[in-house]
Amino acid sequence: MPTAVAVQGVSKRFRLYHEKYTSLKERLIHLGNVPYEEFWALKGIDMDIQQGDTVGLLGHNGSGKSTLLKCVASILRPTEGRILVRGKLAAMLELGAGFHPELSGRDNVFLNASLLGLPRREVERRFDDIVAFAELEQFIDNQVRFYSSGMYTRLGFAVATAFEPEVLLVDEVLAVGDEAFQRKCLGRIKEFQDQGRTIIIVSHAPDSLRSICNRGFVLDRGKVVGEGPIGEAIRIFRDSLRGAAPEEDQVAATEAPAAPEPGSVVRITGVDLVHPGTGSRPYLCPGEPLEVRVSYQARQPVDDAVFTIAIHDAEGKLVYGCTSQLLGADLGPLGGRGQAVFTFDSVPLLDGAYALTLGVGSSAGEVYDWREQQDRFAVVNPGKAMGSVALPLRLELRPFGALSGAGVHGGLEEAAGGR
């Protein structure tokens, strides 16, 4: 597919002024000498977005997502680098952007469309469809300053998408609409996707991006820190939010055995996580098996050892917990070095970053060693299903005529009789 949007080495610098001079005298005295600090909102951004892609931009507040979108829309000019856009572009970047509050909704439709470079004749031809989509028939001749935030959004989105741009930019504004309007917007976006148009969306809601996007870019402090299929991009985004250490450091931490402390009966000396993607990818896919290998050293024989495992989500809430005692596992006496291996034949999690708590103690409740949420794993969902749990699901159609060899009429009668 040809490239729709090419971002090549883009950086954007702002000046932050710490002194404000309000009087004319102060401004003349300090003319050209107002102290400021340079702030780089974007640093060396490179992106290649193919025609027909629906791309999500993820990142915490202040990471540069909206600034990048404004550069793509030519609202801001990059300090360095260049951006190439193939085809007509429309942008929904801010609530009411391009609207004049003293003009009516009708006048603002023509004003906003003119900013997109659209001829008046084309606007007149599509005007009724725009108003109908925005559901503003009763208010279209009222001044926009009397509109609610939802009315602003409906009208802005209706104008931006009515003229079928090749590239559509959407920045978080859909979050302020009501549920019915959001469904309508998603329907319009799906139409654009079916037509092979390019869409770039900024959102703080990863699950909503998962159901829409096929690719994602993750920004942090003005730089791209990850990209790939949307599921992988969401994993990187969640890792950056919780301030996870680089993967190399995490691997080193889990593989380096800890020396047993003097006087400790049993110590956990290392933890290894093994799954089908081990060595090729740092995450699980839903339904894949997982082995948690807990290495230990017993300084003296222990007859009643109990191992504990617990899984916590990104917010620290308990997802699952169990012990060798609850499993009915007969561990026998522990002595010297060994491994306790917890095996999950299938991890029924859909998406997210998870932490493991691991411990070893005695059946009487004595704790020998405990690792509270020190070891982590991630689950990346390559599909479009949303939520946190991977539930086995099948769908099949069963026409009434196929039941018990009866026709449609007979099947309905049998069902009615069963009630």
Looking at the structure, tell me whether residues 280 and 236 fall in a common domain: no
Does the residue 268 lie in any domain? yes
Does the residue 291 lie in any domain? yes
Looking at the structure, tell me whether residues 41 and 88 fall in a common domain: yes
Looking at the structure, tell me whether residues 231 and 345 fall in a common domain: no
Separation CA 71–CA 41 (nearest Å): 11
CATH number of the domain where residue 357 is located: 2.70.50.60
Domain stop point among 186, 210, 241: 241
CB neighbours of 86 closer than 8 A, spacing ≥ 6? 2, 3, 4, 5, 51, 166, 167
Looking at the structure, tell me whether residues 53 and 196 fall in a common domain: yes
Looking at the structure, tell me whether residues 114 and 193 fall in a common domain: yes
Note the pLDDT of residue 402.
54
**C-beta separation of 129 from 109 below 8 A:** no
Kindly list the averaged pLDDT for each block of 10 residues, start to end, along the chain of length 419.
92 80 60 74 94 92 90 92 91 72 90 80 90 90 87 84 86 66 82 92 78 90 91 79 46 39 76 91 90 93 92 85 90 89 93 90 86 89 82 87 50 38
**C-beta separation of 360 from 302 below 8 A:** no
Residues of the domain holding 370: 247-379
Looking at the structure, tell me whether residues 262 and 230 fall in a common domain: no
Note the pLDDT of residue 373.
87
Looking at the structure, tell me whether residues 203 and 272 fall in a common domain: no
Note the pLDDT of residue 189.
86
Does the residue 37 lie in any domain? yes
Looking at the structure, tell me whether residues 282 and 321 fall in a common domain: yes
Domain stop point among 241, 269, 290: 241
Does the residue 407 lie in any domain? no
CATH number of the domain where residue 213 is located: 3.40.50.300
Domain stop point among 189, 215, 241: 241
What is the domain count for the chain?
Answer: 2
Where does 59-179 show beta strands of DSSP type E?
Answer: 80-85, 89-92, 167-171
Separation CA 361–CA 367 (nearest Å): 4
Note the pLDDT of residue 343.
95
Does the residue 416 lie in any domain? no
Looking at the structure, tell me whether residues 189 and 276 fall in a common domain: no
pTM: 0.62
Does the residue 395 lie in any domain? no
Does the residue 405 lie in any domain? no
Query: Roughly what angle, to the nearest 10 degrees, separates helices 179-194 and 149-162?
Result: 10
Looking at the structure, tell me whether residues 233 and 277 fall in a common domain: no
Note the pLDDT of residue 3.
92
Separation CA 293–CA 343 (nearest Å): 8
